[in-house]
Structure 1
Amino acid sequence: MRYLEEFQDPRLARRLLDEIRAIVTRPWTLMEVCGGQTHSIIRHGIDQLLPQEIELIHGPGCPVCVTPLEVIDKALEIASRPGVVFCSFGDMLRVPGTGRDLFRVRAEGGDVRVVYSPLDALRIARQNPDREVVFFGIGFETTAPPNAMTVHQARRLGIRNFSLLVSHVRVPPAIEAIMTSPQARVQAFLAAGHVCSVMGTGEYPELAERFGVPIVVTGFEPLDILEGVRRAVHQLENGRHTVENAYARAVRDEGNPAARAMLADVFETTDRAWRGIGTIPGSGWRLAERYREFDAEHRFSVTGITTCEPAGCRSGEVLQGLLKPHQCEAFGTLCTPRNPLGATMVSSEGACAAYYLYRRLGGTPTTAPTVEASPVG
């Protein structure tokens, strides 16, 4: 297939669904790691089209959602300081910190700007040498390379009024944390294709072997996800647990060598707290010592932050696949996109936002959707 719309073909989707129904003989629980996959699943009703034996649960693959409250509060503190231009992608502005968000800081006079690339923030720093410009660098292995490149460029060009507030996290340690939890019930993973396009698949075979779980690298279109499910279920039914690449059009085993080299130069691994989950050893990146002068936390000496998660928010359970969004008592009532309690209701990749947007408000549909009645795509 050559064109994106071909990966939404209802006839091919029906064929894959028939193949899945033909091989499944018992209940299986699969977790899609990426929030982009979650939105595609809910938007197209893929979870409702699958045989009832297969349950899809949602993982912690939303970068905005797992950014810890302490880091959000540090961002709010830095953005509030005189002489600071605080730059961020737009989906971070409404993420609630303790008592306020970046929109509130901007309303109170802070210079908070939405940018579309970290290089935009570097350009602002060059144009405003008398201001401190900070970029909020969050996300998984996908967004880390451009942030690393921007810091590398800042040092090469001698732009000293630029810094990065870092909250980067890594997927493989999160999979390990999920599988070592006493509440673990995941039997197979659909791994995020865009992460693997950067990092490759080298870290996954050991996890698949140690925990006895198939890991299928999967894309984001309906046919990508159905093919990932088909491969995972086929492995489960045959007692196998290996890594398969179902997204070969974008992912090579070695990943992107240039991006990986940039990451190795600028960042070093560290323990990282995940919002709603806790600290996962070795699950994050921070700036390496030779780039420490560009670390906003170090530059602004942000300390003494006391955090307080909103009462009634169960986003941590949602991020661990222990709870579906509509099973939270606050969902759609106390917690809505206009007045969110947690980041999972704010982010464009958040599971709660997906359930709210596509009206998954609870209960079971009286008539299960079909490919014919509700075409995939």
Structure 2
Amino acid sequence: MIDINDRRIIKRSIEAIKKLSSKLDNIKIMHLCGSHEHVICKYGIRDVLPENITVIPGPGCPVCVTTQKEIDTAIYLAEEGYTVVTLGDMYRVPGSRKSLMELQSEGADIRIVYGIGDAVRIAEKEGEKVVFIAIGFETTAPTTAAEVVNVRSRKIDNFYILNCHRQIPPVVEFLLEEGSNIQGFICPGHVATITGLKPYYKLCSRYKIPMIVAGFEPVDVLVSIVMILEQILNNSYKVENEYRRAVREEGNPIAQRLINEVFEPADMPWRGFPVIKNGGLKLRKKYRNLDIYYHEDIPEMKEVVNSNCICGEILRGKKLPTDCKLFGKYCTPINPVGSCMVSEEGTCYIFYKYRGFI
């Protein structure tokens, strides 16, 4: 097991990356987590990488990949008299006309909570129609599933969810099918604490590409890069667990059973992406009455996307925030134009923070 505080490992990892890279052509690695981007930017990891080794951010922020249409739907529900309950990051994401924060200033009932359990308590205590915006990957889906079971068993009839949950492996497959010229993936450790390694096995085997589940310290990222480069040089591709101190191969079976009890895979669009096969989760028929789409006849939302915002291309690993003409000028954390500048997990926010803007 890696000692995350051992500076000798960091030094040896950097040396190993330089040595391995000398035997390789240009290599592009994608990570799938905002926390990994924090580590990379905060500790200057890109600055110590050889020129032919590039690590790019991908669609690893659940707030960022939530579509504008979903934001617009939440705004519509608030305007229709629902109490809309959300996690803090979603509060400021711009919709087509406004954000939930702006709508609240106009008198709508918007609440910020720490989790779905708080939203359920609001519904119980106040008796109003409450809809919770349920976002996140496999990491947060179990908490939503647990409360869905709780609400159904207790027959709470004024609580609903606007379901925006998504799954990571299908978007990895989309990127590979798209031909993104990615030679390795650093996979999010917190997702793997739930899913384990199994969801990546078929992808790794089919596309012959290294997939390393990694933790969130500088040494984790550096060691993961070493592992990817070694696999490429040895022409031996597999899923490896760098984050063994937290991730088991089988993941968390209890959480998996809870997700599978409540949800089933569903085709779903991501911001900047088309509809991704099995890219999301939907409530099973048994729990469908808690889905706000089942309860309300919501009109079709037509997105009005700012054509100058390149969040979609950033999420697909095609561009960096510094390629955007809005970045740091018209788009800032105080006045975000795109979703990637709102969340602390967003690539634009992270670039803004660690490049001296804040």
What's the TM-score once normalised by structure 1's chain length? 0.91
Secondary structure in 1 matching 2:192 = helix
What is the CA-CA distance between 1:21 and the residue it aligns to? 1.7
For 1:66, the equivalent position in structure 2 comes to 65
Q: CA RMSD in A?
A: 1.5
Unaligned stretches of 5+ in structure 1? 362-377
Secondary structure in 1 matching 2:135 = strand
Question: What amino acid is aligned across from residue 59 of structure 1 in structure 2?
Answer: G
What is the CA-CA distance between 1:261 and the residue it aligns to? 0.5
For 1:77, the equivalent position in structure 2 comes to 76
Question: What amino acid is aligned across from residue 72 of structure 1 in structure 2?
Answer: I
Secondary structure in 1 matching 2:343 = coil
Q: Is residue 310 from structure 1 mapped to residue 310 from structure 2 by the alignment?
A: no
One of 136, 139, 156 as aligned partner of 1:139: 136
C-alpha distance in 2 between matches for 1:359 and 1:80: 39
Task: After superposing the two structures, state which structure 1 stretch, 327-336 or 115-124, moved more.
Answer: 327-336
Residue correspondences, number: 355
Question: What amino acid is aligned across from residue 187 of structure 1 in structure 2?
Answer: Q
Secondary structure in 2 matching 1:280 = strand
What is the CA-CA distance between 1:360 and the residue it aligns to? 7.0
For 1:219, the equivalent position in structure 2 comes to 215
Q: Is residue 353 from structure 1 mapped to residue 349 from structure 2 by the alignment?
A: yes
Task: After superposing the two structures, state which structure 1 stretch, 133-142 or 295-304, moved more.
Answer: 295-304
Alignment of 1:80-159 (within 5 A): 80-82=79-81, 84-129=82-127, 131-159=128-156
Over residues 163-200 of structure 1, what are the superposed CA-to-partner deviations in whole Å (9 max), with x where a residue is unaligned? 11101111111001001114x11000001111111011
What is the CA-CA distance between 1:301 and the residue it aligns to? 1.9
Question: What amino acid is aligned across from residue 13 of structure 2 in structure 1?
Answer: L
Over residues 214-258 of structure 1, what are the superposed CA-to-partner deviations in whole Å (9 max), with x where a residue is unaligned? 000001111111111111111111112111010111111111111
For 1:373, the equivalent position in structure 2 comes to none
Counterpart contact for 1:118–1:135, Cα < 8 Å: yes
Q: Is residue 187 from structure 1 mapped to residue 148 from structure 2 by the alignment?
A: no
C-alpha distance in 2 between matches for 1:301 and 1:108: 24
Secondary structure in 1 matching 2:30 = strand
C-alpha distance in 2 between matches for 1:300 and 1:258: 32
Q: Is residue 172 from structure 1 mapped to residue 165 from structure 2 by the alignment?
A: no
Secondary structure in 2 matching 1:196 = helix
Question: What amino acid is aligned across from residue 16 of structure 1 in structure 2?
Answer: S
Question: What amino acid is aligned across from residue 180 of structure 1 in structure 2?
Answer: E
C-alpha distance in 2 between matches for 1:222 and 1:197: 19
The change in CA–CA distance for 1:8 and 1:357 in structure 2 (over 3 A counts) is farther
Counterpart contact for 1:81–1:110, Cα < 8 Å: no
Question: What amino acid is aligned across from residue 132 of structure 1 in structure 2?
Answer: K
Counterpart contact for 1:78–1:300, Cα < 8 Å: no
C-alpha distance in 2 between matches for 1:102 and 1:71: 12
C-alpha distance in 1 between matches for 2:39 and 2:294: 39
Q: Is residue 208 from structure 1 mapped to residue 207 from structure 2 by the alignment?
A: no
C-alpha distance in 2 between matches for 1:8 and 1:347: 28
Q: Is residue 319 from structure 1 mapped to residue 318 from structure 2 by the alignment?
A: no
What is the CA-CA distance between 1:304 and the residue it aligns to? 2.6
What is the CA-CA distance between 1:332 and the residue it aligns to? 1.3
What is the CA-CA distance between 1:80 and the residue it aligns to? 2.1
C-alpha distance in 2 between matches for 1:158 and 1:29: 51
For 2:18, the equivalent position in structure 1 comes to 21
What is the CA-CA distance between 1:9 and the residue it aligns to? 4.6
Structure 1: 4+ residue segments shifted above 2 A? 6-12
Percent of pairs identical after alignment?
A: 39
Secondary structure in 1 matching 2:96 = coil
C-alpha distance in 2 between matches for 1:170 and 1:304: 24
What is the CA-CA distance between 1:8 and the residue it aligns to? 4.8
What is the CA-CA distance between 1:102 and the residue it aligns to? 0.5
Secondary structure in 2 matching 1:312 = coil
C-alpha distance in 2 between matches for 1:227 and 1:71: 37
Alignment of 1:175-324 (within 5 A): 175-182=172-179, 184-324=180-320
